[in-house]
Structure 1
């Protein structure tokens, strides 16, 4: 199963990684509030259109109270991501938001959805130590921008983890494409008033609009559609791990192409974070795996 999904997995990892670069460009042009609202609306619409083109029937028979709660969580997730990118840049924002699997495991344990195994516990320790190392060794010293950006990124990760767990616990009977498209459309509507109150710099040009379309349609809508396909073919942990790989892609793009500063200690912390996430997701090969296959 793994070898058949690898091309889609690599493509999804690259899409998620490049999305951090586009988030930065879109936020710079539109401001974080407008960027969040428009991106969520485009993602929701694209997922719906692609599902219909694939022959799915979208009935949207969802409980609106639960859907609003889920949409609120997604809105907070994207707001935190946009603010984090604006204050930290691509690389460090990706590291902060990359803690989603860690918080998801903790929330799953608290809500009784799953039990944290010994391997997952080791991953939690490794991952959280990694993010602490990222915080303690900033390249330019600790500043208000750094504090605000890291806080916003971690809030985004917690909101993303809670949203995914809530959807699995309370909305699992809904179709995945239907649920994703509806929740993002609700998130876009909920954040629209913020876009009116906080319009941003107002100097978006053609390139910013192209970036918004790429973010919402290609990296957002197509990316989520690919992730749903991977979940069906290879399971949720394997599909979710693409986001951990995307963290490394975003860090690489931020350092090499965007010339962002990151200390050696922070790079070590990011690697620890990714390793911890893979342990939590159960994707690190164990010694007993060959024996089981025999």
Structure 2
């Protein structure tokens, strides 16, 4: 784990944690389908412009299929269902469910044999899941049909994100981060665009709606996904996706500070547990190793 990886990890946690507020605003102005499709095109366009200004030659020799699959899952699948479900269940509940992404990722990675996880990584994921329960809990709200649909949609989003991340680690290893991000967002945008038939833009977006959408596209998609695909190549998909534990923590802190939501002692304890879980997954903290049999000193022989 290099300092660059740690910096990228922290930036992702902060940016994606703040993105919950921007998603709500963008969906308000553009609808759940428009918010995703336009965000994806803004992200891809931003990276294409940067590449052109830097005179960087992009290499898409990996083919369309892997980029389309990553775009369909990590971009369209995740963002469409998350944008649809979040207004139905709220940002807090969405943050809780988003934290299941690393668990799905670990299970998929182990089934596919993409990466082997040591005891520390497994323990870290378990701690992260426990920390989420302590951190935000489940709100006392009526269980309506919309609530159930919103939870189901968000869980589909989390599974899509996990699947896409593991697939990217398996099929896009060695592909440039700019190419992977551009290809994924163009594919995801094209897949999401027809959904505007089902959920058209509700009206003329306001300046706050436009600002939120541009921020999502430029900062919280173009910049973050380049770093994210880089982390997948560097530390593996499961360890990279464990950032979602920290994202939930940041989202709750933002809600507490900016939205005035109370933070209880169990929630503070949950934040500490999440931090320890992330450290274990990333290898910053290691579980103590027991002595090997040959290292154990045998008891002295009795002379009696």
- The TM-score with structure 1 as length reference comes to 0.81
5+ long unaligned stretches in structure 2: 290-304
Aligned position for 1:204: 205
Query: 2:250 is paired with a residue of what secondary structure?
Result: helix
Structure number with bigger Rg: 2
Distance verdict in 2 for CA 1:189–1:120, change over 3 Å: same
Q: Is the 8 A contact 2:93 2:138 kept in 1?
A: no
276-285 or 10-19, which moves further after superposition?
276-285
Aligned position for 2:67: 67
Aligned position for 1:79: 80
Q: Is the 8 A contact 2:132 2:248 kept in 1?
A: no
Paired with 1:169 and 1:279, the residues of 2 have a C-alpha distance of: 23
After TM superposition, the runs of 4+ consecutive aligned structure 1 residues lying more than 6 A away are: 132-136, 261-271
Q: Is the 8 A contact 1:40 1:216 kept in 2?
A: yes
Aligned position for 2:166: 165
Q: Figure out how many residues of one structure are paired with residues of the other and give that number.
A: 287
Q: Deviations over 1:213-255 (max 9, x none)?
A: 11101222122234456667x6457755544322211111223
Q: Is the 8 A contact 2:14 2:250 kept in 1?
A: yes
Distance verdict in 2 for CA 1:96–1:282, change over 3 Å: farther
Paired with 1:264 and 1:31, the residues of 2 have a C-alpha distance of: 37
Q: Deviations over 1:133-167 (max 9, x none)?
A: 78974233534444333322222111111111112
Q: Deviations over 1:75-108 (max 9, x none)?
A: 1111122123212322331221122222111101
Paired with 2:143 and 2:137, the residues of 1 have a C-alpha distance of: 8
Distance verdict in 2 for CA 1:28–1:268, change over 3 Å: farther
Root-mean-square deviation (Å): 3.3
Please state how far the C-alpha of 1:58 moved relative to its aligned partner.
0.9
Aligned position for 1:176: 177
Paired with 1:260 and 1:152, the residues of 2 have a C-alpha distance of: 25
Paired with 1:235 and 1:136, the residues of 2 have a C-alpha distance of: 30
Query: 2:194 is paired with a residue of what secondary structure?
Result: helix
Aligned position for 2:292: none
Q: Is the 8 A contact 1:99 1:277 kept in 2?
A: no
Q: Is the 8 A contact 1:28 1:86 kept in 2?
A: no
Distance verdict in 2 for CA 1:210–1:87, change over 3 Å: same
Q: Is the 8 A contact 1:47 1:224 kept in 2?
A: no
- The TM-score with structure 2 as length reference comes to 0.78
5+ long unaligned stretches in structure 1: 289-294
Query: 2:169 is paired with a residue of what secondary structure?
Result: helix
Distance verdict in 2 for CA 1:142–1:274, change over 3 Å: farther
Q: Is the 8 A contact 2:120 2:287 kept in 1?
A: no
Please state how far the C-alpha of 1:23 moved relative to its aligned partner.
0.8
Query: 1:71 is paired with a residue of what secondary structure?
Result: helix
Paired with 1:33 and 1:224, the residues of 2 have a C-alpha distance of: 20
Aligned position for 2:43: 43
Paired with 2:63 and 2:2, the residues of 1 have a C-alpha distance of: 35
Mapping for residues 187-266 of structure 1, pairs under 5 Å: 187-228=188-229, 235-236=235-236, 240-259=241-260
Please state how far the C-alpha of 1:182 moved relative to its aligned partner.
0.6
Q: Is the 8 A contact 1:135 1:266 kept in 2?
A: yes
Q: Is the 8 A contact 2:177 2:230 kept in 1?
A: no
Q: Is the 8 A contact 1:101 1:281 kept in 2?
A: no
Distance verdict in 2 for CA 1:136–1:213, change over 3 Å: closer
Aligned position for 1:148: 149
Aligned position for 1:18: 18
